[in-house]
């Protein structure tokens, strides 16, 4: 069993990418959308870059918590 806890994984420098979505009729003002490359399915959005980045940390913690709870592997960044 690994002794790596959530704080260990939260401190790792995962790679994230995001982009601005401008042509969505549901959000005419646009929004930012993206996620972590190494953490499959760990994605979020936000009205501003700041909101996106804050939410990204929240979903990262939730994603890692679920993986730890179920004993599933958590990838680490390569660099």
Q: For 10-30, what is each residue's pLDDT tens digit? A: 999 999 999 999 988 988 999
| Cβ 35 vs Cβ 42: under 8 Å | yes
What size, in residues, is the chain?
Answer: 79
In-domain check, residue 29: yes
Q: Indicate the average pLDDT of the chain.
A: 95
Structure tokens at 47: 């009205």
Is a pLDDT exceeding 80 seen at residue 69? yes
Task: Give residue 66's Cα distance to chain centre.
Answer: 13
Structure tokens at 4: 């790596």
What is the domain range of residue 24? 7-69
pTM here is 0.90
Give the domain CATH number at 45.
3.30.160
What pLDDT shows up at residue 79? Answer: 75
In-domain check, residue 77: no
Average pLDDT of the residues in 30-43? 98
Give the confidence band of 62 by pLDDT, cuts at 50, 70, 90: very high
Q: How many structural domains compose the chain? A: 1
Q: Distance (Å, rounded) from C-alpha 56 to C-alpha 24?
A: 21
In-domain check, residue 75: no
């Amino acid at each position: 069993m690994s002794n790596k806890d959530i704080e260990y994984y939260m401190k790792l420098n995962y790679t994230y990418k995001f982009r601005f979505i401008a042509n969505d009729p549901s959000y005419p003002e646009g929004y930012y959308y993206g996620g972590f490359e190494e953490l499959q399915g760990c994605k979020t959005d936000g009205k501003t870059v700041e909101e996106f980045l804050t939410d990204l940390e929240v979903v990262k913690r939730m994603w890692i918590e679920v993986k730890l709870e179920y004993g599933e592997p958590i990838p680490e960044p390569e660099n």
